[in-house]
Homo-oligomer: A and B are copies of this chain.
């Protein structure tokens, strides 16, 4: 019955994510709580949306609620747990309704588009490591939603898992790229294109042998009229198409409708 370090915190965090068991005002008590986990999470999201992840400090969240930073620790074990809660709350605003009648392809496209848009609305959420599985209700609901969309494809379990992983990572990755490009443009007051042009010119200056060192990159750049990194918006659409085709290949192998 060993209790491992950090496990207690993990349990506490899970409990917060799934809503406390609502213990009915245990025993006697002291002063009524003036805050709530929900209010703190909302304030955190407000700060992060407005000022960015870098400005999200416990002090800032507390201030927005008219409290000190330390007041938050009554409700939330620490900043990491607050971030987890904020992430799950952001995902919770996904509509969850997909055009299931138009086939799995349209449904998955809609799912990806919704998740992508949600991350662009809350770019800070991309800075929260989704690696350690947080397992919040909204995150699981989003996964369930994707599985629902993919159901008509009747993929084999292994294949289904691969598709889910690839789609999830792809959406997060492309959203991160777009979000940071936007952020950089906004921070410097330079339009995406101008910024890229300046950078590109400087690069040609520093590496005059660029076309010889990177011939395929150069060719792709001139063929599509933009650098691969810059065109993240298109990257989302075309990349998603590749993924969907890959899923479709699994369908045909597996058997028709």
Residues of A whose CB lies within 8 Å of any CB of B are 4-7, 10-11, 14-15, 18, 21, 129-133, 135, 137, 140-141, 143-144, 147-148, 151, 157-166, 168-170, 172-174, 176-181, 184, 187-190, 198-199, 202-203, 206-207, 213-217, 220, 223-224, 227-232, 234-250
Contacts of A178 in B (CB 8 A): 131
Given contacts A227-B133, A242-B250, A249-B248, contact A6 B188 (CB under 8 A): yes
Assuming A161-B238, A246-B246, A246-B247, what are 20 further A-B pairs, CB within 8 angstroms?
Answer: A4-B189, A5-B187, A5-B189, A15-B206, A18-B207, A143-B228, A147-B220, A157-B224, A158-B234, A158-B238, A161-B220, A161-B235, A162-B235, A162-B239, A163-B242, A165-B236, A165-B238, A242-B243, A242-B246, A245-B247
* A162 x B242 contact (CB < 8 A): yes
- Give the distance in Å from the alpha carbon of A5 to the alpha carbon of B250 in the complex: 50
* B239 x A157 contact (CB < 8 A): no
- Give the distance in Å from the alpha carbon of A176 to the alpha carbon of B132 in the complex: 9
Chain B CB within 10 A, most for which of A216, A231, A247: A216
- The residue that A172 contacts in the complex, of B161, B169, B231, with Cβ under 8 A, is B169
Contacts of A238 in B (CB 8 A): 158-159, 161-163, 165
17 contacts across the A-B interface (CB closer than 8 A): A7-B190, A18-B203, A130-B176, A132-B180, A132-B184, A144-B217, A157-B223, A159-B242, A162-B237, A162-B238, A162-B241, A166-B243, A170-B170, A170-B173, A242-B249, A246-B249, A248-B249
- The residue that A163 contacts in the complex, of B160, B166, B239, with Cβ under 8 A, is B239
- The residue that A132 contacts in the complex, of B181, B234, B242, B250, with Cβ under 8 A, is B181
* A220 x B160 contact (CB < 8 A): yes
